[in-house]
């Protein structure tokens, strides 16, 4: 499809937009409503609200209209926190969850007008990033009301009431509780996947126990794991030699993570591949970004990739959506 906008959140250069699938880019100035040197950690959209994107920043929560490239601040208890994760319930665009640093989860049931802190116990200190942070929130694709979140560093937590209350899963077998990315797959049996700083893991018992999955790579550092939006078993895993690292691979699996192949990002890479964007509106259109701003596009579902000309500094998140 052609009427799409790619959004890239950066650590210090706000959000960049492309309306031509990454060929050219614009970054609105501060008069757009969002400070042009803000740090943007997370982006989210919902199919029932086409043309709208939420951004979690170091200045609070913002909403944009893609056709206008203007931002509106949504006042919340998170205005003095960094919003590292956003997720919108698939069945209700008004149910929004936000994860912060320091680690906490906030919940809105009215589209972001009002917020309440979720109930849960989260770690308060981290040797690496000082204050733990919620790196991902994921609504379960099968069990309505079940939500997962990963915390750096505090393992995986689960909610069974739409994000109102949270409990840490046992996570026995995790080599590290430094959770970077999570995914849930259904076909072939329910599995919970976890990408960490020390390797990739899988659980077949809702997070009670995990098994380590060795990658064919000198470094086991993994950052994000994503199932392609069509749900046909294709998955992507970003792997490299650390943050930001100076090398790495985007891995692709066509058998639900049983085996992985190098997806073939055109190199050389300047850092660890960091994030991948997929959308149900066109599962064949994918974007990938390295930690230090290299951008790649696939139009065939991830079988082949093209490097885009523009590089955007330090990237934290990427999303594309119909406008």
The confidence score (pLDDT) of residue 2 equals 80
Give the length of the chain. 323
Model confidence over 12-51: pLDDT tens digits? 999 999 999 999 999 998 999 999 999 999 999 999 999 9
Phi, psi (deg, nearest 5) at residue 189: 110, 140
For the cut 90, the answer to whether the pLDDT of residue 77 exceeds it is yes
- Is residue 33 within 8 A of residue 61, CB to CB? The reply is no
For CA atoms 119, 121, 122, 124, give the dihedral sign: positive
**What is the percent of the chain with per-residue pLDDT over 70, rounded to a whole number?**
100
Q: What is the pTM of this model?
A: 0.96
What is the rounded CA–CA span in Å between residue 139 and residue 154? 19
What is the rounded CA–CA span in Å between residue 107 and residue 54? 14
Model confidence over 232-281: pLDDT tens digits? 789 999 999 999 999 999 999 999 899 999 999 998 999 999 999 999 99
The confidence score (pLDDT) of residue 110 equals 98
For the cut 90, the answer to whether the pLDDT of residue 69 exceeds it is no
- Residue 204 CB contacts under 8 Å (≥ 6 apart), including other chains: 189, 190, 191, 192
Stronger pLDDT, 147 or 258, i.e. the higher one = 147
Give the CA angle between residues 83, 97, 91 to the nearest 5°. 145
Q: Report the candidate in 162, 184, 166, 86 with the shortest Cα–Cα distance to residue 123.
A: 166
What is the rounded CA–CA span in Å between residue 207 and residue 192? 7
Alpha helices in 25-159 (DSSP H): none
**Average pLDDT estimate for 218-222:** 95
């Amino acid at each position: 499809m052609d009427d799409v906008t790619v959004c890239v959140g950066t650590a210090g250069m706000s959000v960049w937009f492309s309306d031509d699938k990454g060929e050219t880019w614009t970054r609105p100035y501060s008069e757009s409503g969002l400070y042009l040197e803000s740090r943007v950690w997370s982006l989210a959209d919902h199919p029932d609200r086409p043309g709208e994107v939420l951004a979690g920043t170091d200045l609070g929560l913002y909403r944009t209209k893609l056709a206008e490239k203007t931002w509106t601040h949504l006042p919340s208890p998170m205005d003095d926190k960094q919003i590292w994760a956003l997720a919108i319930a698939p069945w209700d665009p008004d149910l929004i969850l936000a994860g912060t640093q320091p680690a906490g989860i906030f919940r809105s049931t009215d589209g972001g007008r009002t917020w309440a802190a979720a109930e849960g116990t989260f770690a308060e200190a981290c040797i690496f990033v000082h204050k733990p942070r919620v790196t991902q929130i994921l609504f379960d694709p099968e069990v309505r009301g079940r939500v997962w979140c990963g915390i750096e560093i505090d393992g995986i937590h689960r909610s069974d009431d739409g994000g109102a209350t949270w409990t840490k899963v046992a996570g026995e077998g995790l080599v590290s509780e430094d959770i970077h990315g999570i995914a849930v797959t259904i076909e072939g049996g329910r599995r919970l996947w976890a990408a960490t700083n020390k390797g990739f893991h899988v659980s077949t018992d809702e997070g009670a126990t995990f098994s380590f999955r060795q990658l064919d790579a000198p470094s086991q550092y993994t950052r994000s794991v994503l199932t392609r939006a069509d749900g046909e078993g294709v998955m992507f895993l970003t792997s490299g030699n650390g943050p930001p690292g100076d090398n790495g691979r985007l891995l692709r699996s066509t058998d639900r993570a049983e085996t992985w192949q190098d997806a073939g990002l055109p190199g050389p890479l300047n850092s660890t591949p960091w994030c991948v964007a997929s959308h149900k509106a066109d599962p064949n259109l994918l974007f990938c970004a390295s930690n230090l701003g290299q951008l790649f596009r696939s139009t065939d579902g991830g079988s082949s990739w093209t490097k885009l000309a523009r590089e955007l500094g330090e990237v934290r998140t990427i999303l594309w959506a119909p406008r």
